[in-house]
Amino acid sequence: MRSIDLVLAHRKRRSQRVILDVPLLVRGESEDKRAFEEDALTLIVNAHGALVMLEEKVVLGQKVILTNIKSGDEREGSVRYVGPAYAGVVRVGIQFSRPAPEFWLLSSPPTDWSQF
């Protein structure tokens, strides 16, 4: 990818990404209607959601509930990205139903998060 493409891709982001590992509880219902609950860690967060590592198989569009273990705060989201499996886990992009920058408990969040 050319450097100009990287700049343009960054401009399309709705909120700046932050590398942060936050312990979460992820709950949902599998394709076969089986309830699941999994402890997970974030890799990257932003005001609109996160990239997390999951063992549970999820599919695009699937609804999940994220609970921030430190605060107890819960938010609904949906699966927007499912990466390839590696060592039994998958990188999963989850988007909140509504932006929730406060969910991550950052003392100094990026300035573009304040618009939400």
Number of Cβ within 10 Å of residue 101's Cβ equals 20
Domain count, the chain: 1
User: Domain range holding 54?
Assistant: 3-115
Query: What would the pLDDT profile of 11-51 be if each residue is shown by its tens digit?
Result: 567 899 999 999 999 999 987 889 999 999 999 999 999 99
Q: Provide the whole-model pTM.
A: 0.86
Number of Cβ within 10 Å of residue 106's Cβ equals 15
Q: How far apart are CA 100 and CA 24, in angstroms?
A: 15
CATH number of the domain enclosing 88: 2.40.10.220
Q: What percentage of residues in the chain have a pLDDT greater than 70?
A: 90
- Angle made by CA atoms 84, 8, 54, in degrees to the nearest 5: 20
